[in-house]
């Protein structure tokens, strides 16, 4: 889902969110590493049973060997400055992001769209115009030229970072009017004159057509691309010079963020992944964890953890940290869960630092939002949490304590890494708790620096820790 950016349609949508939750005091997660994305590491749970976990693996991932598995940067926000300089802006930040521990960058849709120099890219016209053809009133896209985009991707790879493309394949926009034999009217479905000359489309390639009246969903009155059409399949993911393989093999993208996947069946992303490869995550905007898991399994893809997002909003803005016991996608399968605090579409959580402390110490693939990092929040504190994620956030999760104001969880560690204990405090006063760690007779410290305590655990692994008001602390072995 995204905010539509177009001239001829006005779209309003009401979203209904359904929650599926189960309350448990201790959540120990036993998952299987996914093919192509993870290398399997054999470790042992706290009760001595073996299980498989993994580290995110890629040819360009700087933090392949690190316990946390990586952090993604959403490198844009809605209505970034127009004028064709955004790719250059991002390029100048890549070295600092890489040094901070960010391992991947998610870019907005990169091809020419209907609204030309003002478009955020979610109204695509020509998938092969990256800012090098004069159409839709501009040569460059809102973000810049093809040369500048290639320079950004090349620089990211030099910094050992991956680059993910935002893929919009539910709908198109900017076609010419044509007589449509399937509707008996004129429709804006003639894309035969696109400047790149690649993946020309007509009314036969959009619903309603010879393949049926509709698929899972349409968006905003835009022509709804028909993925059941062999011609569309061929151009999107089958042919060597089609969209997917051109983006991966020529433009050198490493993965994909699929936009508005509610609009088509999960088999589409599954087929893309099988034929193109690379990391993938889908925007299935729904708080029902059963639905998220269903989509991720059938698409063979990661999915944004909207269940986690809305639970964090309830917890940190609603003063009810007990809801963090509820079910979320990262608890079902952390290897298919991409967690986030805000993005270009939704920014509901006001207790953001607590939310970032949560996703950067827990399982899943955490995403940092550009404006949170560069403009709105404390960058040093976020960098500290990214370091903790990459170096300490290991193993499965046990929830140790919750009430309305407090939440304490333990990452149980693996492969010699000791893991951590995270303490979140949403009250107005300092809090202290006795908790059980994984460490006996061991000095620990708060790696955020929010507490100056250096306590030593008892022989039975119990210790008292503290947490500042409206804040967090993260404890691990003092080494």
**Mode of pairing for the β-strands spanning 420-425 and 471-477:** antiparallel
Phi/psi for 425 (5° steps) reads: -130, 110
403 is annotated as contributing to ligand binding? no
- For this structure, is 283 an active site residue? yes
CA 208 vs CA 153, 216, 235: distances in Å:
38, 12, 19
Q: Which residue has the tokens 């809090």?
A: 431
Within a 10 A sphere around the Cβ of 96, how many other Cβ atoms? Answer: 13
Among the listed residues 325, 294, 395, 338, the one whose alpha carbon sits nearest the alpha carbon of residue 106: 338
Q: Is 297 exposed, middle or buried (0-12, 13-18, 19+ CB in 10 A)?
A: middle
Residue 172's closest CA among 132, 229, 134? 229
**Beta pairing partners, 471:** 425
On the question of a cis peptide bond just before residue 208, with omega within 30 degrees of 0, the verdict is yes
Among left, alpha and beta (phi > 0; psi -120 to 50; other), residue 132 is alpha
Residue 423, H or E segment:
strand 420-425
Catalytic residue among 283, 326, 374, 446: 283
For residue 375, what are its two tokens? 């403009």
Which DSSP string do the residues of 325-393 spell out, in sequence order?
A: GS--HHHH-GGGEEEES--SS----S-HHHHHHHHTTSSSEEEEEHHIIIIIS-HHHHHHHHHHHHHH-
Strands (E), 161-315: 162-167, 176-180, 185-190, 206-207, 224-225, 255-258, 279-282, 302-304
Q: How far is the C-alpha of 267 from the C-alpha of 269, rounded, in Å?
A: 6
The reply to whether 30 sits in an annotated binding site is no
H or E segment and range at residue 156: helix 146-158
Residue with tokens 């198109």: 172
| Residues acting as catalytic residues | 259, 283
Binding site residues for Ca(2+), as ranges?
Answer: 170, 229
């Amino acid at each position: 889902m995204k905010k539509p950016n177009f001239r001829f349609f006005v779209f309003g949508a009401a979203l209904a969110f359904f929650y599926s939750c189960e309350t448990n005091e201790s959540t120990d997660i036993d998952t299987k590493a996914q093919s192509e994305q993870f290398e399997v590491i054999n470790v042992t749970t706290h009760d001595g049973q073996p299980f498989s976990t993994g580290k995110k693996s890629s040819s360009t991932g700087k933090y392949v060997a690190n316990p946390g598995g990586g952090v993604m940067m959403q490198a844009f926000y809605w209505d970034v400055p127009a004028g064709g300089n955004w790719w250059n802006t991002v390029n100048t930040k890549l070295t600092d992001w890489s040094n901070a521990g960010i391992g991947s960058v998610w870019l907005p849709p990169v091809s020419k769209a209907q609204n030309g120099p003002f478009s955020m890219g979610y109204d695509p016209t020509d998938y092969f115009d990256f800012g090098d053809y004069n159409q839709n009133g501009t040569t460059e896209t809102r973000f810049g030229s093809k040369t500048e985009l290639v320079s950004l991707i090349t620089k990211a790879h030099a910094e050992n970072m991956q680059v993910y493309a935002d893929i919009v394949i539910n709908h198109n926009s900017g076609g010419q009017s044509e007589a449509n034999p399937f509707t008996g009217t004129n429709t804006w479905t003639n894309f035969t004159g696109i400047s790149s000359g690649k993946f020309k489309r007509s009314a036969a390639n959009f619903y309603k057509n010879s393949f049926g009246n509709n698929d899972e969903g349409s968006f905003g009155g835009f022509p709804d691309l028909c993925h059941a059409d062999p011609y569309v399949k061929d151009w999107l993911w089958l042919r060597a010079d089609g969209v997917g393989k051109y983006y991966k093999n020529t433009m050198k993208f490493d993965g994909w963020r699929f936009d508005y996947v509610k609009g088509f069946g999960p088999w589409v992303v599954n087929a893309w992944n099988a034929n193109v490869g690379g990391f993938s995550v889908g925007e299935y905007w729904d708080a029902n964890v059963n639905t998220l898991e269903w989509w991720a399994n059938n698409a063979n893809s990661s999915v944004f953890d909207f269940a986690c997002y809305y639970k964090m909003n309830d917890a940190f803005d609603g003063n009810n940290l007990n809801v963090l016991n509820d079910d979320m996608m990262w608890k079902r399968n952390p290897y298919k869960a991409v967690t986030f605090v805000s993005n270009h579409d939704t920014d509901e959580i006001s207790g953001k630092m607590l939310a970032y402390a949560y996703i950067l110490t827990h399982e899943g693939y955490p995403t940092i939002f550009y404006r949170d990092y560069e403009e709105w929040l404390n960058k040093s504190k976020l960098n500290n949490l990214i370091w903790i994620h990459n170096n300490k956030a290991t193993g499965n999760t046990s929830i140790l304590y919750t009430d309305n104001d407090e939440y304490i969880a333990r990452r149980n560690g693996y492969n010699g890494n000791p893991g951590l204990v995270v303490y979140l405090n949403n009250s107005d006063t300092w809090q202290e708790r006795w908790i059980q760690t994984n460490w006996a007779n061991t000095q620990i410290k708060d790696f955020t620096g929010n507490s100056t305590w250096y306590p030593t655990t008892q022989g039975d692994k119990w210790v008292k820790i503290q947490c500042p008001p409206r804040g967090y602390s993260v404890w691990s072995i003092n080494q």
